[in-house]
Structure formats: structure tokens, C-alpha cells
Amino acid sequence: MNLPRLLFRYPGGKFYALKLLRPFWQNTPHDEYREVMVGGGAVFFDKPKVRHNWLNDKHEDLMTTYRTVADPELRGRLVELFEKEVATKERHAEMKEFIPSNDFDIALKFFYLNRTSFSGKTRSPSWGWRPVRSLPPNRWKERIRPCGEKLEDTKMTCLDFEDVIIAPSLGASTLLFVDPPYFLAKQENHYSESFSENDHYRLAAVLEKTSHKFFLTYDDCKEIRELYSFARISQNRFLYRIDNSRNRGGKRKYGNELVITNYDHEKALEC
């Protein structure tokens, strides 16, 4: 299976863990799929859609951009504008100052900064587009068009995770993918939405009660192992691009990550 082409560059994105994560949805029949904290949506863009699909993230500009790209007419306008766009330090500085007055402009600004900033960070972004290595603006349509088409007919919301987890099933069997910020990492540099210690505890409490199936990824630490002692925990090792790759020559390193579920992903279940 090929790796998907993603719409965004996203800090903490699960692109490098896709091979490891596939068995968790492939062996688990479901007719409703929810990504509770979608971010760059690496898993959504990798997996075939099912009957009901729901993407959520607390990050408003991110979800506004997804909705804009999902709309065929707005998507066409974005592609047209980016055909004539330039990736320069000056234009990046101009975009940083630009104050959007509608959803389309929010998407325009978000996408431009995501594609041209270091590590795709749109919060306090610094110039990071590199000739040859980075995709030029006239090729951004190669991401916008296929991703936008996949996003059509998908429910997209900007809610707190708890509202998405507790919502009743629309189909016979619902599968949730939950990818919260790491428990031990310093989040303030990565995400617009901060995730407090209490949010980690609140997430565990709501997942313990849910009747939906879930798979959840976390950094491997004793606090998380204790918090999810009610569930199945598998420890995994995968290659990922380190955050400050600028200082390490763009290398990748191995990370340990937990995948936590309330079902047996190695056994095909009846839907």
C-alpha cells in the first residue's frame, strides 16, 4: 500500500507511523469512523472511507481550511490563486500580517503559512520553505484536489474531544481514532490548542466509559500506562522525523509509542 499525499504538514502528524497503525483499523469492521483530534489527518487520508466519516479538531482555522478545501467551488478558487502565488520570505511576512475577513481568507492564509513555514507551524510561524525540497505553490493543487475530493461528504466539526466521543453511533459499529498531544511533551510550541494535564485525565475517563471501539496513540510513560490500565496497551517502535530537524541534518530517529485499544486488533471481529 502506498503512503497517502497529505494536505498539510503537521507537527506530531502520524505519517511515519501509518504502517504500524493500519492493522488497528484494517482488522476492525466499522461503518462509522471518527478522528477525534484530526490534525493533519494522516490516518484519514490513508484509510478508505466508510459509510459515515467524521473529522474533528479544536483548532478552528484548521477545520475552516478543511471545510474550504472540501467545497469544489472554493477549492477551485484556492487552486487558481496558488497558481500565481510565490513562496518568498517577503510574501511569508506579508501573509503573517494578513487579517482574514472571511472563511476563504482564513483557509488561504492557513494553507500558505503551513506550506511555507518551518515544520508547517502556523502558530508563530517562521520562514521554512526550501527550493527543490519544498513543494512550489503552483503544485499545491496536487494536494488540494485529491484531498478535497476525499473530504467531500465528510462531517467536519470544531468541538472538544468529549462531545465527539460521547455522540451516539450513526451506524452499527463506530471506530474512534484518538491522537492527543503527548503527555510528557511541551505542547505550547506545537499546537494552537493547549492540552492540560486535566484534559489527559478527562480523555481517559470518557474513553473508559465509551461503548465505541477506539485506538489511541500516546508517548510511552508510566502515567499513561497507569491511566489506561483498563485497556489493551501495545508498545511500538517507529521511525519519525525529529521536530528540530534543522539542527540534526533533517535525520529521523526511532520513537517509542503506545497504541491503546479497547478491542483485540489482531482478531477480525464481527460487525
Ligand X SMILES: C[S@@+](CC[C@H](N)C(=O)[O-])C[C@H]1O[C@@H](n2cnc3c(N)ncnc32)[C@H](O)[C@@H]1O
Q: Which stretches of the chain bind ligand X, using CB under 6 A?
A: 10, 12-14, 37, 39-42, 57-59, 160-161, 179-181, 191, 193, 195, 199
- Residue closer to ligand X, measured from CB, 76 or 219: 219
- Residue closer to ligand X, measured from CB, 81 or 159: 159
In angstroms, give the least distance from the CB of 153 to ligand X: 21
- Residue closer to ligand X, measured from CB, 78 or 216: 216
Contact partners, residue 68, CB within 8 Å, separation at least 6:
74, 75, 78, 103, 104, 106, 107
DSSP codes, 242-261: -TTGGGGTT-EEEEEEEEEE
- Residue closer to ligand X, measured from CB, 85 or 147: 147
Report how far Cα 96 is from the mean position of its chain's Cα atoms. Answer: 22
Report how far Cα 121 is from the mean position of its chain's Cα atoms. Answer: 13
Alpha-carbon torsion (252, 253, 258, 264), positive or negative:
positive
Burial class (CB in 10 A: 0-12, 13-18, 19+), 77: middle
In angstroms, give the least distance from the CB of 189 to ligand X: 13
List phi, psi (to 5°) of 118: -60, 125
The two most distant CA atoms of the chain are separated, in Å, by 56
- Residue closer to ligand X, measured from CB, 195 or 215: 195
In angstroms, give the least distance from the CB of 10 to ligand X: 4
In angstroms, give the least distance from the CB of 201 to ligand X: 13
